[in-house]
Amino acid sequence: MAIKVINDKCKGCTICVKACPFDAIEMKGKIAEIGAACTACGVCVAKCPFEAIEKVEDENDNGVDLSEYKDIWVFAEQRQGKLMGVALELIGEGYRLAKEISDDTKVCAVIVGDNVAHLADECYAYGAERVILIEDPLLKNFTTDGYTKVLTDAINEFKPEIVLYGATHIGRDLAPRVAARCNTGLTADCTRLDVRVSSYIDFANKNTTLDTSTLDPNDPDTGIKQTRPAFGGNLMATIICPRFRPQMSTVRPGVMQKREPVEGAKGELVEYKPTIAAADIRTEVVEIVKSAKELVSLTDAEIIVSGGRGLGNEEGFALLKDFADHIGGVLGASRAAVDAGWIDHSHQVGQTGTTVKPRIYFACGISGAIQHLAGMQGSDMIVAINKDADAPIFEVADYGLVGDLYKIIPLLKEEWDNADALFDASAK
Amino acid sequence: MNFQLSKEQENVKKMVREFAEAEVEPIAAEIDQNHRFPIENVEKMAKYGMFGVPFPKQYGGAGGDHISYAITVEELSRVCASTGVIVSAHTSLCCWPIYAFGTEEQKMKYLPKLLKGEHLGAFGLTEPNAGTDAAGQQTRAEDMGDHWLLNGAKVFITNGGFAEVFIVMAMTDKSKGTRGISAFIVEKSDEGFSIGKTEDKMGICASSTTELIFQNCKIPKDRLLGNVGEGFKVAMATLDGGRIGIASQALGIAQGALDVTVEYMKARKQFGKKLSQFQALQFEIADMATRTEAARLLVYKAADMKDKKLPYGMNAAMAKVFAAEAAMYVTTKAVQLYGGYGYTKDYPVERMMRDAKITEIYEGTSEVQRMVISAAVLGK
Amino acid sequence: MAFNILVCAKQVPDTNVIKINPKTGTLIRDGVPSILNNDDANALEEALRIKDEFEDVVVTVVSMGPPQAQDMLTECLAMGADEAILISDRAVGGSDTQATSNALVATIKKAEKEMGKSFDLVFAGRQAIDGDTAQVGPQVAEKLDLPQVTYVEECSLNAEMNEVTVKRNLEDGYEVIKVKTPCMLTAIKELNTPRYMTIEGIFSAKDKPTHVWSAADVEVDLSTVGLEASPTNVFRSFTPAPKGKGEMIEATSEKELVEKLLVGLKSKHVI
């Protein structure tokens, strides 16, 4: 795939030069020239008022027969015999995608470990139609070498069309290694997946500024369209992997929907006997330590009370914690507050922290740097409290309160349980 | 003519700014209020080579130039003028005269530790009765045959309380006036040498400013710096260079005050508008920025002339008097633009204003600079 | 024989400074500084710490990027690295992570051949802030056939310099892993605090070797690099739609603010 300037049509207006997110276009005389930094993202194609830039598709000549590949796999990550939440979310998402591809495309959970057969039922309950069980004592704990080997072998044998991994510290260690060994593409940290062009158009129209008029809703293509943030969330990119298989993505925890579990659901169990020897594993796991630090389950929180630089100091978080405890919320933080050392990184919400989508998100003293917004914009309700009426956080807030959070938060705690009475009074 | 910093100079600016913002700025208010010498940061600055910027590597220097040295003092002073002057006094007033006038033995003995920042340096010229009139030295050095004997006192000595090595001016022959002054290297541990009282100052409160007391202070013969009777020449040449350091400090103070004021004006609202939207205040910022930039050009030019071994005394004096007055102007305006908040210690501009004042006074008052400049312009 | 450490580094735009032009929806790149990627600075720091601690350690930094990336490499040298290599060529432009790792691996192999050494330890940052993929490190390791440990938050090399013990960060704790050299470790910010350049380092950098190589120099198979060879392609890119502006609550006191907020939350059935 490549971007080409049609020299006869180029008027030298430089709109594309300014529009290019990668700084890849230069003016050569009065004509735009595409430079080496081009990623073929197509922004310039859409921006050019003279239709002077086109995207040229290549033919598939790499010898990969795409039709051999079928089904959607989810790497059902388990730790110490327990499935990670993201595995169940991905089974839900995989199910949705599988049915969009075709009725006979199945979603398969791949469980790797030792004595983990009991996890199959949970996978079935959440929508898996098939479980591929790969067990060996050498696979008890995650090792890059061990898991890469058995997963790659299984992929080569069964040829899935799509493989999804949770973007956890394990998924992000394993997936690139598998992708390199299978010589295929991998897209990191996806926040949205589509296979049907029509679904992609629906998504884009609802949530983005993308001009979808060039897309055909009846396009039969079912290649995966993987949407992810780039440039610290300043730009969204949709990535495809048209010429290689399987198509692989890591997906952020907390982004996809689990299905309602069906107790007692059953599926097909495939036990895959791995070929693995101790010598294949070049790292030795000496110990695994569950951290004593308080576990912040930001991803599952219904209510998050987050603090930023505007708190002014570490003690501000004590105030927020007090409020959060009172209303059953969890403490979050902006990168600025974490960098200032006021609170542990595990509380960080945003591009480099956790992506959250609680029912209510309180942003207290958070100015709303774009990378913070990237991690919390999906919240159902955003309440922003800030001294600065021009803080960007108010651009995304459903309710904005300009004032001193040290006065507002205690009052809010005090009045919280009176909400019904206040509402009734206001209705009269 | 080339007004671009070299790649190296740009990296010095970037590195010192990162260091200053991360290590110096967070403690600047505290050390000012507690009048505390930031010894922990002196150690860090030593590690990164900030005490030997414009000296060759063979003596332990960083192998840089004087523009890089000016940038170092400027960037430190942008967040903390006290920290800036520690480097300036050490480099210009102690290391440089040893490098320029010392014997090879003296250089090898003192420079490596000084330039690596293991030892701090200071310079003693001013006396209670010999400030601007530096020729009125009363400290005496007697030739005792196998050693020198120093008696007298120096005042307002920057780095006094923390230095290991001092360049001290003393009268060796009263009858010869300025030609009777000689320069000596004094070590902290020398017999009969002690540090007197520490001054309680209006600004640069975290720098150490002390008296030096010499009571039958015995120092070996090989501590004479330059020849007998050359002390005044050493002192004047040293101060020429020192003025670049102080001009850089003043420039840094001005830039720092300008930067925080710009931030503040973009944030602070009155009458429903940001301060930065009022034209009268915009014009203040324009004047502040213009004076700061003019000061920068004068400072870098003087430093560049020193690097090129051109006569730079007049240019250093111009840089110093202009930058010092720019610093005073910009910081005073900064306090004004901050309004009531600017007068409180919650914001850094009042400290910057107090710090700026000294740059019009030490290492030659603005009046002295004008004497130097006018003498050069008019011819003596 | 010296102990050779390789650090993979990338020059990135400082994404903290990037803003969106609200009218055109495009990135504003003017005045956005290019910096050494954050995690890569931690990777370099760890290599330099080993150099401080052990005798006869040589630290080489390798990067792929436009010619301007030499500035970033110069900064690495000013921090204390011994030599730098940049693979810069139009032919490798537009590479995705798979193609990037192909180009880097060819460069690393060329360096080993050219300099007659083999790297005993390879560091990379976990991920780059412009792409956040965290894929290039593991993919380089795969293609060099090295074991890897990612998300390294603590690292110690034994006295024989043939085994590292690392703490690998996990979401809910950490694991302790032992691995023999040579291996690839990817650094996170918890690993250390990167040093600044030193003034002396800044003025010595130009005396240290910096190699700028083309695709032909590193003898990379051109069918494995660049946009054409990348398995993944950008299908579309766009800016996220700004959510419609909500309601700024007007009130004369904090108490009134709070009351109006609670009424609003109640009326929308969120509490």
C-alpha closest to that of C129 among A296, B55, A333, A234: A234
Yes or no, beta carbons of C199 and B19 under 8 Å apart: no
For the four alpha carbons of C103, C108, C112 and C115, in that order, the dihedral sign comes to positive
Annotate C220-266 with DSSP letters as a single string.
--GGGSHHHH-S-EEEEEEPBPPPPP-EEPP-SSHHHHHHHHHHHHH
CB contact residues (below 8 A), chain C span 14-33, against chain A: 15-16, 18-20, 24-27, 29
Is the pLDDT score of C21 beyond 70?
A: no
C-alpha closest to that of A30 among A54, A52, A46: A52
Is the pLDDT score of B330 beyond 80?
A: yes
Within an 8 Å CB–CB cutoff, is residue C240 touching chain A?
Answer: yes
Q: What does the block give as tokens for A18?
A: 């300014």
- Which chain C residues are Cβ-neighbours of B48 within 8 angstroms? 196-199
Yes or no, beta carbons of B53 and C198 under 8 Å apart: no
One pLDDT digit (tens) per residue for chain A, 428 residues: 578 898 888 998 988 888 888 888 889 888 898 887 788 878 888 888 898 998 876 555 677 888 889 999 999 999 999 999 999 999 999 999 999 999 999 999 999 999 999 999 999 999 999 999 999 999 999 999 999 999 999 999 999 999 999 999 999 999 999 999 999 999 999 989 999 999 999 998 887 888 888 888 998 889 999 999 887 667 889 999 999 999 999 998 878 888 999 999 999 999 999 999 999 999 999 999 987 545 557 877 889 999 999 998 999 999 999 999 888 889 999 988 988 889 988 899 986 678 888 889 999 999 987 668 878 887 889 999 999 888 889 888 999 999 999 999 999 999 998 888 888 888 76
* pTM assigned to the model: 0.85
DSSP state of A354: B
Yes or no, beta carbons of A242 and C233 under 8 Å apart: yes
Poorest-pLDDT segment among B223-237, B356-370, C240-254: C240-254
Yes or no, beta carbons of C240 and A236 under 8 Å apart: yes
- Which chain B residues are Cβ-neighbours of C49 within 8 angstroms? none
Report the gap between the CA of B274 and the closest CA in chain A (Å): 10
Within an 8 Å CB–CB cutoff, is residue C156 touching chain A?
Answer: no
Poorest-pLDDT segment among A142-151, B179-188, B225-234, C245-254: C245-254
Q: How far apart are CA A92 and CA B10, in angstroms?
A: 53
Report the gap between the CA of B343 and the closest CA in chain C (Å): 28
Catalytic residue among B23, B75, B211, B363: B363
Q: What average pLDDT does this structure show over B172-199?
A: 95
- Tens of pLDDT along B64-92? 999 999 999 999 999 999 999 999 999 99
Report the gap between the CA of A277 and the closest CA in chain C (Å): 15
Return the HEC string of chain B: CCCCCCHHHHHHHHHHHHHHHHHHHHHHHHHHHCCCCCHHHHHHHHHCCCCCCCCCHHHCCCCCCHHHHHHHHHHHHHHCHHHHHHHHHHHHHHHHHHHHHCCHHHHHHHHHHHHCCCCCEEEECCECCECCCCCCCCCEEEECCCEEEEEEEEEEEECCCCCCEEEEEEECCHHHHHHHEEEEEEECCCCCEEEEEECCCCCCCCCCEEEEEEEEEEEEHHHEECCCCCHHHHHHHHHHHHHHHHHHHHHHHHHHHHHHHHHHHHHCEECCEEHHHCHHHHHHHHHHHHHHHHHHHHHHHHHHHHHCCCCCHHHHHHHHHHHHHHHHHHHHHHHHHHHHHHHCCCCCHHHHHHHHHHCCCCCCCHHHHHHHHHHHHHCC
Report the gap between the CA of B64 and the closest CA in chain C (Å): 6
Residue of C71, C199, C205 lying closest to B48 (CB–CB):
C199
In B, minimum Cα distance to A390 occurs at B267
ipTM tops the 0.90 cut: yes
Do residues C150 and C43 touch, judged by C-beta distance below 8 A? no
In C, minimum Cα distance to A1 occurs at C228
Please give the span between the terminal C-alpha atoms of chain A, in angstroms, as a whole number: 64
Do residues C129 and C38 touch, judged by C-beta distance below 8 A? yes
- Which chain C residues are Cβ-neighbours of B44 within 8 angstroms? none
Q: What average pLDDT does this structure show over B153-164?
A: 97
- Chains in contact with B, counting 3 or more C-beta pairs less than 8 Å apart as contact: A, C
Thinking of the domain C3-229, which architecture would CATH place it in? Answer: 3-Layer(aba) Sandwich (3.40)
User: Could you tell me the pLDDT band of residue B109, with boundaries at 50, 70 and 90?
Assistant: very high
Q: Mean pLDDT score of chain B, rounded to an integer?
A: 95
Helix (H) or strand (E) holding A75: strand A72-75
Which domains does chain A possess?
2-56 (3.30.70.20), 66-280 (3.40.50.620), 293-427 (3.40.50.1220)
- Which chain B residues are Cβ-neighbours of A389 within 8 angstroms? 269
pLDDT of residue C242: 59
Yes or no, beta carbons of C236 and A204 under 8 Å apart: yes
Tokens 């495009």, residue located: C26
DSSP state of A86: H
Yes or no, beta carbons of A230 and C25 under 8 Å apart: no
- Which chain B residues are Cβ-neighbours of A390 within 8 angstroms? 274
Yes or no, beta carbons of C259 and A240 under 8 Å apart: no
Is B164 tagged catalytic? no
Assign residue B91 a region (left: φ > 0; alpha: ψ between -120 and 50; beta: otherwise): alpha
Q: Mean pLDDT score of chain C, rounded to an integer?
A: 92
Do residues C271 and A420 touch, judged by C-beta distance below 8 A? no
Is the pLDDT score of C243 beyond 80?
A: no
pLDDT of residue C23: 60
Is the pLDDT score of C132 beyond 90?
A: no
- Pairing mode of beta strands C121-125, C3-8: parallel
